[in-house]
């Protein structure tokens, strides 16, 4: 998500900032039997590193195995 999305979610108190701000992040739900039980997220602190659709698909695949 771009920084402006993160800032909006923070203002809406849907997320809480812990640690230094990341440049980009991507999160996916951890689901079991159609119930969300958690979240898996990755963050980038490197300028120019952005997550895309391919990264989301990989993280979704991993989250299905973890859950």
Query: What is the mean pLDDT of the segment spanning 7-12?
Result: 92
pLDDT for 5 beyond 90: no
Q: Binning pLDDT at 50, 70 and 90, where does residue 1 land? A: low
Q: pTM of the prediction?
A: 0.68
How far is Cα 62 from Cα 65, in angstroms, rounded to an integer? 5
Q: Which residues pair with 67 in a beta bridge?
A: none
- Count of domains for the chain: 1
- Per residue in 18-64, pLDDT tens? 888 888 889 999 999 889 999 999 999 999 999 999 999 999 999 99
22 with 44: CB under 8 angstroms? yes
Q: Which domain range does residue 42 map to? A: 3-66
CATH number at residue 15: 3.30.450.40
Which residue in this structure is represented by tokens 């992040």?
25
The residue with greater pLDDT, 6 or 8, is 8
Where would I find the H helices in the chain? 3-11, 53-66
What is the 8-class DSSP label of residue 22?
Answer: P
Quote the tokens at residue 58.
Answer: 């990989």
């Amino acid at each position: 998500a771009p920084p402006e999305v993160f800032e909006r979610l923070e203002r809406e108190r849907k997320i809480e900032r812990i640690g230094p701000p990341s440049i980009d992040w991507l999160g996916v739900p951890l689901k079991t039997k159609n119930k969300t039980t958690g979240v898996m997220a990755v963050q980038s602190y490197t300028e120019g590193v952005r997550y895309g659709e391919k990264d989301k698909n990989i993280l979704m695949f991993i989250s299905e195995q973890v859950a």
